[in-house]
Amino acid sequence: MTDEQALVKTLDFQLDIQSDNESLLYDATLEARSVYNGAIRLAKQGVDWDVIHDRVADDANLVKNTTQRVVAKALGAMENYYEYDDFNQPSHTKDGTYPLRANYEEGYNLSLTDDGDVAFRISAKPYKHVKGILNGDDAHLDVLKTALTSDEWRLGTAEALFHDGTAELHVNVTNTEHAVRDKQNSQTVVGVDLNEDNVALTALSKDGVEDTLVIEFPEIKFERHRYFTIRKRVHNAEKWSVLDTLEGQEERFVRDRLHKVSRHVVEWSQQFENPCIVFEDLKEMRDNIDYGARMNRRLHHLPFRTLQHYTSYKAAFEEIPTVWINPEFTSQRCPLCGHTERANRHKKRFKCRSCSHQDHSDRSASVNIAVKGIKKHQEWTVPALNSLPTVRTVRRQASGAVDAPTVTHDTATGYYTDGVEGVSD
């Protein structure tokens, strides 16, 4: 196992395709499936693998580079099948569409437009191209734009595919100047609990909890609600030209705050020995949200994933790995005795009904996230959590974190007290 890994990121985008070329891309993904299945069938027939590339390429209606990449993927699946045959892992052909795989400047190209967008050109079939603009997460777009303008980055293999009926492009980019330490070589695990108005951090090492910090950013929630109210009034007044301006202002405000918070998370994590940052995997969170129209709107607009991407991106440049864990029960489990009950948590107060442990509810969740991170990604065991240190809280403002009276929690007494526990950048 190596001590460092190259800084590689997979960036996901939706394709805003020009004219009616979406049908061309769809037909190409069906052809890619045919190539994949053909390679699988030839491999099962005992055809020499060095010959399969040429035999499939003769019949494929795809550009040569894409055909080679799809065949390589199929033979890789066969190799895994033979390697794990004792476990009865299946090797079978695919149904539906299959991603077009291509190298940069061979099967696809990207470029910056005068408007600041990223334009794409995908070689769907020989001499036939699909063109348009990439849409996606701001953090991913930021990384891609940096990669297109910096010598430190190299664009690699990309996949054009259909996900739930939507055309997407997944691009691999590598930073040649930075490396990320292997996650399993970490001495400290930092659990990150993201909430509507704060992010709670807990650093957990072999000796126990090293420190805890809660970074508050209520202004994001307030500003989003303010802009929602303004847009509603503008919409009722039918002043359509103002809507785009408002959306741009809100987006810039939120991105600025998220960059500041993510930078603070990484800087705080750096003080510990060989840290690894652990997030909850919240990809499916929105699918399970149903708390009424008003609350659904608030929660659906929370920038959880964007903040995770910003933090992961900045951490990678500091050689800090980031990992994801299943979020199940992280907010309901007692970090001391392990008891799990939904009623344990009420707003910012956590009280275990089994051992009577009391804590700041978000800090409690961050401890559980760190524990899960250790169990999933580390070779050392979770230390005993007999007591937890006092929670320190700082509030992010436009100029950064400031020293100000905050609310802290004393785990010995279970009471909240005022204190000056701020941290400056």
Could you report the average pLDDT of every consecutive run of 10 residues in the chain (425 residues)? 62 88 90 91 85 84 89 80 47 80 91 93 92 90 90 90 91 81 89 92 94 90 78 72 66 83 94 95 59 50 77 84 91 90 80 90 94 92 87 68 40 33 33
In single-letter form, the type of residue at position 346 comes to H
At how many degrees (to 10) do helices 304-317 and 241-269 cross?
Answer: 50
How high is the pLDDT of residue 408?
40
| Angstrom distance (rounded) from CA 203 to CA 189 | 6
How high is the pLDDT of residue 347?
78
Contact 102, 92 (CB under 8 A): no
Contact 316, 7 (CB under 8 A): yes
Task: Tell me which residue of 317, 320, 319, 341 sits closest to 331, measured CA to CA.
Answer: 341
Q: Enter the pTM of the model.
A: 0.60
Helix (H, G, I), strand (E, B) or coil at 81: helix
How high is the pLDDT of residue 402?
42
Helix (H, G, I), strand (E, B) or coil at 151: coil
Is the four-CA dihedral 241, 245, 248, 253 of positive or negative sign? negative
* Residue ranges of domains in the chain: 4-179, 182-420
| Angstrom distance (rounded) from CA 220 to CA 232 | 18
